[in-house]
Structures are given as structure tokens and as C-alpha cells.
């Protein structure tokens, strides 16, 4: 039986196992790092059903539930939005969603543009796109959304990296990083409790203290979840995307010449440059028939984004960036757990690329693309560093 997750292909591309399995065993079992087994979808239609059908649960705390990893996994921690089922999930999601509406997010556009412009203008002639730009900007934004201006970005990045490890760190080291992060967020909340400002954290603290709807633990866990979800994926998609656009440079040059293509290109970059496949398992609460077969009650299933987003029956020549495709990608999921930050993430990617092509039309990789090192032993697949030059040499 194949072991999941599969090692990525060249330049972080999805492994060819997805295409092979799609041809031979569309909904087959895989062996998970925990030793348990689960079904892996490989088609768009199967993934879309698993993500949307309420008979698949994200609550893996029931005895006997399969697990992705044997030890601690942030995504499966009970009490986080992403591991709850309705009605608890609906209640918590309603509480958080007000700040992420298209209207609220659009109100952030000018601020984000100003932040991006200031940061990009301050960078030296050669810089590391990932470390100096792709991660710090989303951290600044999520801090703004939360209403917490004073977060220690380097520490948050360190904990986040550690928690995404699959084999690089031991279970103890991962847990230690999560505990430190947890303690840091608990302190942050304590420090902001008397003067919470007017961001999302204030809403969450208000809900906890005023109406007793969020327990202290829920408050800390979900604040941590937002800091993590709010920057890790966006920074990784951005780092991967710039490599795709600059190597060869024709992708970037096209956006410099026609910035109106940015919004459509971002959708395609989200589809093809997802930093890894889904690390989240679901469990069938009854027998469910999918287009490609049945998942029996109690069995685990992974709704694969890499499988669905590269399904050639939905996206012809799936590895190519072709703005304006008809089908919606699965990069933000589907159904009840559809990415809460999707509007924000889209806007960040659009605005950052917009400022880049305007301010740095000569941006170029400082090393050949094939020389870039990619993450290993992590859920997140991205280039470790992306050295770039502001001007083509
Ligand atoms: C390019 C960037 C991003 C990508 C590709 C992405 C992707 C996803 C996906 C695929 C899911 C659903 C997982 C599943 O159902 O198995 C999800 C959920 C979530 N995302 Fe994002 N995300 C991004 C950025 C963000 C940002 C910026 C935030 C917050 C500010 C955020 C917050 C969340 C939250 C809170 C959930 C859980 C929602 C729920 O369980 O109801 N994400 N994201």
C-alpha cells in the first residue's frame, strides 16, 4: 500500500502518484504516517463531495478514529474551528466570520497596498523573497485583522515551521513548539484583555467574557489557529508563485505588461501552487457513496486538493496556468470548512503581485530556478529561500 503523503515531484509539483492512482485506483487506500489507513480521493468530483457532505466528520477525537499522525497535529486539535462539526462549528464560525466578509476585506485593500509598497521600496537590490516579503506581509496583515500590532514575527515563524514538520522533528519537539506558541498567545490575550482594540481579537474576547460563548482554551486555540492559517499558506503560495512567474520570466513579464490579468492568474496560481496536499482527514459517520466508490462508516478519507486541482477531466493540461478556466479550484476547500480567510488571502495575493509588477518590473531570480532548495520533512512544500534581484542583471 502506498504511503501518504507522497514525496513531491520536481519543484514541489504534486507527485505523479496522483495521476497513476487516478488511472488505476481512483479511490484507493493509503497508509498514513500514524500507521492507520484512509481512502485518498484523486478526482475533483470525489474531493468536492467529501468536503461538502456533512456525513464526513472532522472530529477525530472519537475512539477508534483513524489519525494522520500518531502524535500531536495542530489541524486535528479538538476545539479548533477546523476540527469541529456542526452545530459547534457553525456557532464558532459565525463568531469569526464577520471580519472576513468581502466588504470588510476590501476595506483592507488600500492599507495592504500601502504596507506592500513601503516594504518593497525598503528592500535592498538583492533580497530573499520568501523571508523578507512573502511571510512578513501576511503576518502584518493578520496582526492588523486581529488588532494586535506587537507580535514577534520571528518566533511565530519558528513555531509555525516546527508544527508543520512531518519527519524533521520528533513528536516531542513538535509538541514543545505548539505549547510555547500556545503560552505566547495566552499571554498576548491576557495583555490585550483590558484594552483589546477593535480587531477580531476584541470580538473573540468579548464573546468569551461577555456572553461566555468561547472558553479560555477555545479562545487561545482559535487565535493561534488564525495566526497560523493567516500567514503560513499565503506566504508559501506566494513564494511558490513567484518562482513559477520568474522561471521563466515570461509569466511575470506578461503581468507587468497586462496587470489586468493578475486576478485571473492568482486563481490559477492558487490551483497549481498549493504548498502540499491536504493534511486533514475526515471520517465517515455512515456509509457514503462517492462518484468513485463507497466509504464505509468509521473509515477515514482524504479529500485531496492535489488530486482534484490537477484532474485533467476538469482542468485540461492541468499543470498550465490558464486564467479564466471555467471550474472553480479546490484550493480553499468546499462546504462548511471552506477557508474562512479566502477573501483575505485572494486580496493579499492580488495586491502584492499588483504592487510588485508596478514597483519592480525588472524583478528576477538571483539563482537558476533548479538551484532552489525545497522544504523537506514538512506538510508545507515550498522553496526554502527565493533570492531575487530588483533588476534583471
Ligand atoms: C493562500 C492562502 C490560503 C489557502 C490556500 C488556504 C486554504 C484553506 C483550506 C483548503 C481550508 C479548508 C481545509 C479543509 O476543509 O480540509 C482552509 C480553512 C481555513 N482557513 Fe485558509 N487558506 C489560506 C489563507 C487563509 C487566511 C489568510 C486565513 C485567515 C486569516 C485562513 C483561515 C482559515 C481558517 C480559520 C480555516 C478553517 C475554517 C473552518 O474550519 O470553518 N486561511 N484554508
Category of 8 on φ-ψ map: left (φ > 0), alpha (ψ -120 to 50) or beta: beta
Residues in the chain: 393
- Which of ligand 1's atoms lies nearest the C-alpha of 278? 16
- From the CB of 340, is ligand 1 less than 6 Å away? yes
Give me ligand 1 centre to Cα 84, in Å. 14
- What's the CA gap between 161 and 176, in Å, rounded? 13
DSSP three-state, residue 57: strand
Instruction: Examine residue 1 and state whether it is found in any structural domain, yes or no.
Output: no
Instruction: Examine residue 4 and state whether it is found in any structural domain, yes or no.
Output: no
- From the CB of 6, is ligand 1 less than 6 Å away? no
> Alpha-carbon dihedral of residues 305, 307, 313, 319, nearest 10 degrees?
80
- From the CB of 332, is ligand 1 less than 6 Å away? yes
pLDDT tens digits for the chain (393 residues)? 899 999 999 999 999 999 999 999 999 999 998 999 999 999 999 999 999 999 999 998 888 889 988 876 766 777 789 999 999 899 889 888 877 888 888 888 999 999 999 999 999 999 999 999 999 999 988 888 888 877 888 888 888 888 877 777 787 888 888 889 999 999 988 888 888 788 888 888 887 656 657 788 888 888 888 888 888 899 999 999 999 999 999 999 999 999 999 999 999 999 999 999 888 999 999 999 999 999 999 999 999 999 999 999 999 999 999 999 999 999 999 999 999 999 999 999 999 999 999 999 999 999 999 999 999 888 899 999 999 999 988
Give me ligand 1 centre to Cα 250, in Å. 30
Residues 375, 368 contacting (CB under 8 angstroms): no
Instruction: Examine residue 5 and state whether it is found in any structural domain, yes or no.
Output: no
- Which of ligand 1's atoms lies nearest the C-alpha of 348? 27
Please report where in the chains the cell 500500500 appears, as a residue: 1
Residues 300, 65 contacting (CB under 8 angstroms): yes
How far does Cα 61 stand from its chain's mean position? Answer: 23
- What's the CA gap between 203 and 93, in Å, rounded? 12
Instruction: Examine residue 256 and state whether it is found in any structural domain, yes or no.
Output: yes
Compute CA distances 67 → 59, 64, 107, 163, whole Å. 11, 9, 40, 16
- What's the CA gap between 173 and 167, in Å, rounded? 11
Give me ligand 1 centre to Cα 226, in Å. 9
- What's the CA gap between 376 and 347, in Å, rounded? 29
- What's the CA gap between 35 and 62, in Å, rounded? 17
Instruction: Examine residue 264 and state whether it is found in any structural domain, yes or no.
Output: yes
Q: Kindly report the CATH number assigned to the domain that includes residue 128.
A: 1.10.630.10
Instruction: Examine residue 353 and state whether it is found in any structural domain, yes or no.
Output: yes
Residues 68, 32 contacting (CB under 8 angstroms): yes
**368 Cβ partners below 8 Å, 6+ apart?**
247
Ligand 1, atom 35: nearest CA belongs to which residue?
340
Asked if omega into 3 is within 30° of 0 (cis), the reply is no
Q: In testing the pocket of ligand 1, which one of 112, 218, 342, 348 has its CB within 8 Å of the most ligand atoms? A: 342
- How many structural domains compose the chain? 1
Instruction: Examine residue 3 and state whether it is found in any structural domain, yes or no.
Output: no
Q: What is the pTM of this model?
A: 0.94
Ligand 1, atom 25: nearest CA belongs to which residue?
341
**Residue ranges making up the domain that contains 218:** 10-389
Instruction: Examine residue 379 and state whether it is found in any structural domain, yes or no.
Output: yes
Amino acid at each position: 500500500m502506498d504511503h501518504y503523503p507522497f514525496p513531491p515531484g520536481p519543484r514541489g509539483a504534486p507527485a505523479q502518484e496522483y495521476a497513476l492512482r487516478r488511472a488505476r485506483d481512483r479511490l484507493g487506500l493509503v497508509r498514513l504516517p500514524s500507521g492507520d489507513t484512509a481512502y485518498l480521493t484523486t478526482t475533483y468530483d470525489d474531493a468536492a463531495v467529501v468536503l461538502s457532505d456533512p456525513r464526513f466528520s472532522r472530529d477525530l477525537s472519537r475512539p477508534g478514529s483513524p489519525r494522520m499522525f500518531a502524535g500531536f497535529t495542530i489541524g486535528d486539535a479538538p476545539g479548533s474551528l477546523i476540527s469541529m462539526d456542526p452545530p459547534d462549528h457553525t456557532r464558532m464560525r459565525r463568531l469569526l466570520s464577520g471580519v472576513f466578509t468581502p466588504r470588510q476585506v476590501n476595506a483592507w485593500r488600500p492599507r495592504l497596498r500601502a504596507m506592500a509598497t513601503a516594504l518593497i521600496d525598503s528592500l535592498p537590490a538583492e533580497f530573499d523573497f520568501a523571508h523578507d516579503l512573502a511571510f512578513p506581509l501576511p503576518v502584518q496583515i493578520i496582526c492588523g485583522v486581529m488588532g494586535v500590532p506587537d507580535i514577534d514575527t520571528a518566533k511565530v515563524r519558528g513555531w509555525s515551521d516546527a508544527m508543520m514538520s512531518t519527519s524533521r522533528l520528533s513528536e516531542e519537539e513538535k509538541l514543545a513548539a505548539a505549547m510555547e506558541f500556545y503560552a505566547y498567545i495566552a499571554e498576548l490575550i491576557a495583555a490585550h484583555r483590558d484594552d483589546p482594540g477593535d480587531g477580531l481579537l476584541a470580538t473573540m474576547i468579548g464573546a468569551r467574557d461577555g456572553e461566555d460563548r468561547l472558553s479560555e482554551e477555545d479562545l487561545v486555540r482559535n487565535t493561534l489557529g488564525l495566526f497560523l492559517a493567516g500567514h503560513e499558506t499565503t506566504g508559501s503560495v506566494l513564494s511558490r508563485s513567484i518562482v513559477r512567474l520568474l522561471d521563466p520570466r515570461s509569466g511575470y513579464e506578461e503581468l507587468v505588461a497586462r496587470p489586468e490579468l493578475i486576478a485571473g492568474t492568482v486563481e490559477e496560481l492558487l490551483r497549481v501552487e498549493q504548498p502540499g496536499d491536504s493534511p486533514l482527514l475526515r471520517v465517515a459517520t455512515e456509509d457514503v457513496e462517492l462518484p468513485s466508490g463507497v466509504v464505509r462508516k468509521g473509515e477515514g478519507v482524504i479529500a485531496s486538493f492535489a488530486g482534484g486541482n490537477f484532474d485533467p477531466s476538469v482542468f485540461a493540461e492541468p499543470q498550465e496556468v490558464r486564467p479564466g478556466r471555467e471550474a472553480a479550484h479546490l484550493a480553499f476547500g468546499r462546504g462548511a470548512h471552506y477557508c474562512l480567510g479566502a477573501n483575505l488571502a485572494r486580496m493579499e495575493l492580488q495586491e502584492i503581485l499588483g504592487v510588485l509588477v508596478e514597483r519592480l518590473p525588472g524583478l528576477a531570480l538571483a539563482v537558476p530556478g533548479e538551484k532552489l532548495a525545497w522544504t523537506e520533512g514538512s506538510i508545507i512544500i515550498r522553496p526554502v529561500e527565493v533570492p531575487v534581484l530588483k533588476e534583471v542583471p
